[in-house]
Amino acid sequence: MSHTYEAKAVEALVELGLMTAHDQLDGTAQKAAADNWSYSHFLGYLLDAELKGKYQRTVAMNTRFAHFPYRKQLEDFDFKAQPSIDPKIIDELATMRFLAEGRNVVLLGPPGVGKTHLAIALAVKAIEAGHRAYFINAMDMARKLAEATEGNHLPRLIKNLTKMRLLILDELGYLELSKPQASLLFQVISLRYEAALPIILTSNKAFGDWASVFAADHVMASAALDRLLHKSTIINIRGDSYRLKEKRLAGISTNINSHSIQPDQS
Ligand code: ADP
Ligand code: MG
């Protein structure tokens, strides 16, 4: 047992898990004495440091949890290079209102036009706003769901996929899903829709081709679209791959012209 309240303060901060306040206690107490702070000023200062530390730890933890393939920021996106996107729509999404409204964001377009970049950048903003986000390639998720079915832990996985505020499903439609995979993916879309938990989805397929995304099942494809589009912001991106454009500008691929561009594997 401590004998002094000074020692008690140190002990209590550890016990309460207020480690930033613990680490800054001595320094702050010295500052408070030197500058003649009121007691409440001292306490407020210390707790503010704790809150800032807590926020940074949450953001760091949620960033690890998100499993981004790489990190991208909205600030790095060159809107001039991509005139088919209205920056005002992205600014609105960056307010994170879509999270509160349970609104989905659907990014459509050919490879290399910035769909994944924007999806990650919006998820980074969501994390900075204190939310949990999880990024997964659509085919990887379908495979995980199928494995979970075989391993008898599908309900647990599905529950986990409805825990995070934002799910980013990348590259839906690049690879064809089997019928069981399509139906598992549909379950996730359905459950998140019912819970008003938004999805950011990227796809190279126009809505008219979604039956092929859902294993040629027109009914399932339209039921999935129904849920995804009921409350959604759709961003149709057109144009050439940014990477190829950059290379062309740098004169690296002088032999690439708009007829010979091969879809890249982004
Ligand atoms: P998609 O997902 O549409 O295939 P990506 O988002 O992967 O394309 O973009 C390919 C690469 O080009 C990424 O490194 C991305 O950061 C970059 N990129 C694409 N569009 C832009 C842009 N308008 N401004 C800056 N970088 C861009
Ligand atoms: Mg992509």
- Per-residue pLDDT of 61-82, as tens digits, reads 999 999 999 999 999 999 999 9
Q: Within the chain, what is the greatest distance between any pair of CA atoms?
A: 81
pLDDT surpasses 60 at 261: no
Q: What is the pLDDT of residue 58?
A: 96
Q: How far apart are CA 90 and CA 118, in angstroms?
A: 9
Q: How confident is the model at residue 264 (pLDDT cuts 50, 70, 90)?
A: very low
pLDDT surpasses 60 at 253: no
Q: What is the pLDDT of residue 258?
A: 39
Return the ligand number nearest the Cα of 78. Answer: 1
- 112 C-alpha to center of ligand 1: Å? 5
Tell me the whole-structure pTM to 2 decimals.
0.87
- 84 C-alpha to center of ligand 1: Å? 14
Domain ranges of the chain: 2-64, 67-249
Stretch 25-53: mean pLDDT, rounded? 97
Residue nearest to ligand 1 atom 6, measured at CA: 114
- 175 C-alpha to center of ligand 1: Å? 20
Q: How confident is the model at residue 244 (pLDDT cuts 50, 70, 90)?
A: confident
Ligand 1 near 204 CB (within 6 A):
no
Ligand 1 near 72 CB (within 6 A):
yes
- 183 C-alpha to center of ligand 2: Å? 23
Ligand 1 near 78 CB (within 6 A):
yes
- 2 C-alpha to center of ligand 1: Å? 58
The residue type of 31 is K
pLDDT surpasses 80 at 236: yes
Cα–Cα distance list, 115 to 18, 22, 121, 138, 263 (Å): 40, 44, 10, 14, 14
Which DSSP string corresponds to 21-36? Answer: HHHHHHHHHHHHHHHT
Percentage, residues of the chain above pLDDT 90: 84
Higher pLDDT, 260 or 38: 38
Q: How confident is the model at residue 2 (pLDDT cuts 50, 70, 90)?
A: very low
Return the ligand number nearest the Cα of 112. Answer: 1
Return the ligand number nearest the Cα of 171. Answer: 2
Ligand 1 near 201 CB (within 6 A):
no
For β-strands 232-236 and 133-137, DSSP reports them as unpaired
Q: Which CATH number fits domain 67-249: 3.40.190.80, 3.30.300.20, 3.40.50.300, 3.90.1310.10?
A: 3.40.50.300
Q: How confident is the model at residue 3 (pLDDT cuts 50, 70, 90)?
A: low
Q: What is the pLDDT of residue 252?
A: 61
Q: How confident is the model at residue 239 (pLDDT cuts 50, 70, 90)?
A: confident
- Per-residue pLDDT of 113-150, as tens digits, reads 999 999 999 999 999 999 999 999 999 999 999 999 99
- Per-residue pLDDT of 84-112, as tens digits, reads 999 999 999 999 999 999 999 999 999 99
Residue nearest to ligand 1 atom 19, measured at CA: 114
- 204 C-alpha to center of ligand 2: Å? 9
Mean pLDDT of the chain: 91
Which DSSP string corresponds to 5-73? Answer: HHHHHHHHHHHTT-HHHHHHHHHHHHHHHHHT--HHHHHHHHHHHHHHHHHHHHHHHHHHHHT-SS---
Ligand 1: nearest atom to the Cα of 202: 2
Return the ligand number nearest the Cα of 110. Answer: 1
- 248 C-alpha to center of ligand 1: Å? 15
